[in-house]
Structure 1
Amino acid sequence: MRRRSLILAAVPAGLVTIAGCGDDKSDSSKASDSASPSPSPSASASTAPPPKIVDGPLPEITAGTKFGEKPTVAKGTGDPSDQLAVKTVIAGGGQTVAENDYIQAHYLGQVWDTAKVFDNSFDRKTPLVIQLAQGSIIDGWRYALAGRKAGSRVEFSVPPTWGYGKSGNSQAGIKGTDTLVFVVDVLGAFNAKSSAKGTDVPQDDADLPKVGTNTDGGAPSIEIPKADPPKKLVANYVIEGDGDEVAAEDSVLVQYEGVLWATGKEFDSTYGRKALTSFGLSQVVKGWAQGLTGKKVGSRVLIVIPPDLGYGDNPPSGSGIEKDSTMVFSVDILAKM
């Protein structure tokens, strides 16, 4: 069983709540009833077999043809493929995307027959960050984007089997017979080897832990000083990135390592699980929420959390955290969601 992150104040609700179906035989109507009104391309688990990847047909992109521009896509002509038609329109040179990676992407989605746009992130000016994992996103995205590189624009068509199934998505105006067309600009990709990117910041306070600055995807070292822990929250840059600042209402994608001040013993780590973690700052202990607010994406941050902003006298059972423990974290902020 996968161990749940200990930083969470409670078991989180799904950060992306829209439900769909890539399996024609599953009951997606129940999930659709409670879905968010946003037609983001996330989906419930599917048992449909993998599609064949074919070259076309695909409708023409008639405007907004540069990477990062909102595209205008013509209506599909003729019958769409009953498999997954995929075309790399602009080839990027970044990290190759693999299944179960997280991606950061701008996208536009429309219906093949009508060219009706049912969703796009370009107008929201906020890219989607989501894991290409079964149950997190419709299968069409998983299969179409695996093997593509960050910096690429990819156009693909998704038949119902690998989209929202026979039930469609009524909130988005998608019928169970609709083939969908997506244009996706892959801005970045993240996996268990991802690290902060930025400028090292001097760690001159001998009374605070010193955090390693390696960016090879391995867990950084955390050296606890022979000093009493601070009474107030500490949140200092170790590596300062150049991304957007994180706001209190944001969700983030992170790597982190957590140790106890008293013993230096690790009690939680994404590196140990070999799996990134995403969460809203409203979902985590106060020390994390306050410590990450205002920090820049791409950064590594030292957070020292006193008991009153952590777990106090009620630590999680079986966590290895004693009552009134001061916790020390190294946190890499990979993306804002």
Structure 2
Amino acid sequence: MKRTLAALPVVILAATMLVGCSTTDAASGCEPVAPGSASKAVKLEGKFGEQLKLTSKTPIDSVDLQRSVAIEGEGEQLTDTDMVKAHMSMFTGSDGTQVASEDALLSLDEQSMAPWVIQSLKCSSEGDRVVTTAPAATIFPQGGQDFGVEASDSVLVVLDLKQIVEPRAVGEEQELPEGFPEVSLGKDGDPTITIPEGVTPSGKPEIATRIKGDGPVVKAGDNVSVQYRGVIWRTGETFDSSWDRGSIAPFNTNGVIGGFSDALVGQTVGSQVVSIVPAGEAQGGYPEDKLVEMGHQKDDTMVFVLDIVDASTPPKQ
């Protein structure tokens, strides 16, 4: 069975799996990775941003990381703070087998992206089709056997840079129901959550939309990218936050607690959602013993503020 990018996101994208490398500020005149005979030899069929077919003669052997721009886009050049939604296609160099094809949210952030991703994106613009070829160890430093990639192989990666996206909720502000926590936003969109004085949570899951985005509707089983902050109602203290970690959280809606998943499914990309989650799996929260293990009380209610940055439906297996 072909594995998807979502199945092993750390292996594919995460900087922690590779030695860091420096990047050049795109806004101040960068120097892209040079193309080579391998990256130039890649030929493809298929529409931009959709399923692609490799039509090059194989094998294609890349002794180092090479980068070519097969299609030049007309959009803005990426800066160090931009995030871009890309369609990523991956092939083996030995025989051209496609090992992955799906959307991913990428950036030039050294803390969250692998060096090869940054090297591929450097100097790129919205609308570009970037072709990267590299030895398997560069893309899969921990080994690519789960993707059917041998250590001696080369890997071809095609990034169709479809759209620069906002790393926060963007839309029409909505009024929260009475009794909900107050949410105020910093300049970057980071929420401050204030628990209302003298109000006891209802003991039932509650969800409300604070900002209504105009993107596609999130479906059950979608891969999503979310900015979020979670606080304990009793204390108002943050216990988890993508904002504090400095990187957007990618996950599948089927792989998180119900209070998280229920707050996302049916909402639109670009929205900000407030989710009040009582203790207990039946209520969509953590089990009581898990809350105690985390240092909270077994009946603590959690409050999440979630910004839906992106969503995409993974390919069928």
TM-score > 0.5, shorter chain as reference: yes
Aligned positions of 1:16-95 closer than 5 A: 16-17=7-8, 45-46=17-18, 53-57=33-37, 58-59=40-41, 61=43, 63-64=45-46, 67-75=48-56, 82-88=63-69, 89-91=71-73, 93-94=75-76
CA distance in 2, matches of 1:166, 1:283: 23
Question: C-alpha displacement at 1:195, in angstroms?
Answer: 0.8
Q: Following TM superposition, by how much is the alpha carbon of 1:54 offset from its aligned partner in structure 2, in angstroms?
A: 1.7
Q: Distance in 1 between matches of 2:125 and 2:180?
A: 40
Partner of 1:287, secondary structure, is helix
Quote the residue 1:285 is aligned against. Answer: 257
1:298 Cα deviation from its structure 2 partner? 2.0
Distance 1:200 1:45, change over 3 A: same
Superposed displacement of residue 251, structure 1: 3.8
Question: 2:133·2:155 contact (CA, 8 Å) conserved in 1?
Answer: yes
Q: Does 1:206 align with 2:178?
A: yes
2:127 equivalent to 1:187: no
Paired residue secondary structure (1:307): coil
Which whole-Å deviations, capped at 9, do the CAs of 1:42-101 have from their partners, x for residues lacking one? 899356999x9322231264644x6325445542599855332212332353572659x9
CA contact (8 A) 1:68 1:106 kept: yes
Tell me, yes or no, if the aligned pair for 2:77 and 2:123 is still in contact at 8 Å.
no
Determine helix, strand or coil for the equivalent of 1:245. Answer: coil
Q: How high is the sequence identity, in percent, across the aligned residues? A: 27
1:135 Cα deviation after fit: 12
Cα gap change, 1:18 to 1:83, in 2 (>3 Å): same
For the 8 Å contact 1:256–1:269, the answer to whether it is kept is yes
Instruction: Tell me the TM-score normalised to structure 1 length.
Output: 0.68
State the alpha-carbon separation in 2 of the partners of residues 62 and 129 from structure 1.
22
Structure 1: distance between partners of 2:240 and 2:180: 20
Provide the secondary structure at the position in 2 that maps to 1:288: helix
Task: State TM-score, norm by structure 2.
Answer: 0.71
Q: C-alpha distance in 2, partners of 1:326/1:167?
A: 41
CA RMSD across the alignment? 4.2
Contact between 2:21 and 2:115, CA under 8 Å: does it hold in 1?
Answer: no
Question: What is the identity, as a one-letter code, of the residue corresponding to 1:229?
Answer: P
Larger helix share, 1 or 2: 2
The structural deviation recorded for 1:300 is 0.6
- Structure 2 vs 1, CA of residues 332 and 176 (structure 1 numbering), >3 Å: closer, same or farther? same
Q: Given that residues 138 and 162 in structure 1 are in contact (C-alpha distance below 8 angstroms), is that contact kept between their aligned partners in structure 2?
A: no
Report the counterpart of residue 110 of structure 1 in structure 2: 91
Q: Distance in 1 between matches of 2:229 and 2:146?
A: 42
Q: Does 1:225 align with 2:207?
A: no
Q: Is residue 129 of structure 2 the alignment partner of residue 157 of structure 1?
A: no
Aligned residues: 292
Shift in CA distance, 267/154, structure 1 to aligned 2, threshold 3 Å: same
Secondary structure of the 1:55 match is: coil
The DSSP-based 3-state class of the residue aligned with 1:291 is helix
Measure how far apart 1:163 and its partner are: 3.9
Q: Tell me, yes or no, if the aligned pair for 1:312 and 1:325 is still in contact at 8 Å.
A: no
Q: Distance in 1 between matches of 2:171 and 2:66?
A: 38
1:167-189, CA deviations, whole angstroms, 9 ceiling, x for partnerless residues? Answer: 874863x4544433332112356
The answer to whether the 8 Å contact 1:201/1:237 transfers is yes
Deviation of 1:303 (Å): 0.6
Contact 2:67 2:132 in 1 (8 A): yes
Q: Amino acid of the residue matched to residue 152 of structure 1?
A: D
Secondary structure at the counterpart of residue 291 of structure 2: coil
Unaligned stretches of 5+ residues in structure 1:
1-13, 21-39
Q: Secondary structure at the match of 2:261?
A: helix
